[in-house]
Amino acid sequence: MIRIFYKEGLIIRSFQCKELKPVEDKSVILWVDVYSPSEEEVKWVVDNFKVEFPSVQEREDIEISSRYWEEEDSITINTFFLIREGENAFNETVSFIIKDHYIITIRYRELKTFSEFARRLMTNPSVYKTGFHIFSSILEIKVASDSDILENLAKEISKLGKIVSSGN
């Protein structure tokens, strides 16, 4: 699925790309959110925005040098998002490609951070002038979410430590 957020005067609108037609005016685009793309959708993004999608290996590599790279006209960043599902916590990689004035996000899982950010974007459009503004706001929400998860995990570890040390 591809959802495009674009400027129309002072407001921001979005639409889901169901028909993969060429993008005629990129100057109004702020954010291209790519979620669990098909091969056809990947090709459409690559062709229309002249970017390279990170490979699975590049997305999952834990080496810091593999998580960020600059090209002549773009920056690609792969970052982990901490996820908590029931008793389990794990990482999900999201890729960000910042090019010109817009950002392309590539993810393979529904993340609360993105729905929260989309809500903020639509309710306060004047704050988000470029892809860099969008990127920093997504990371701000991510950091707050990750810290909540880590705080809860620390509490659980502390409880387990007390149980183990008391012998119960």
Identify the CATH number of the domain in which residue 41 sits: 3.30.460.20
Give the range of the structural domain holding residue 44, as residue numbers without chain letter: 2-166
Query: Each residue of 62-75: pLDDT tens digit?
Result: 666 667 888 899 99
Decide: 28 and 10 in contact? Cβ < 8 Å: no
**Pairing state of beta strands 102-107 and 74-85?**
unpaired
Query: Each residue of 30-88: pLDDT tens digit?
Result: 999 999 999 999 999 999 999 988 777 777 766 666 678 888 999 999 998 988 887 77
Query: Each residue of 138-153: pLDDT tens digit?
Result: 999 999 888 877 887 7
Decide: 76 and 54 in contact? Cβ < 8 Å: yes
**Residue keyed to tokens 């590049």:** 58
Whole-prediction pTM: 0.85
Q: Is the pLDDT of residue 158 over 80?
A: yes
**pLDDT score, position 160:** 81
**Residue keyed to tokens 């503004």:** 133
Decide: 4 and 29 in contact? Cβ < 8 Å: yes
**pLDDT score, position 22:** 86
**Residue keyed to tokens 């996000």:** 105
Using only C-alpha atoms, the chain has a radius of gyration, in whole angstroms, of 18
| Alpha carbon distance 2, 43 (integer Å) | 12
Q: How many domains does the chain have?
A: 1
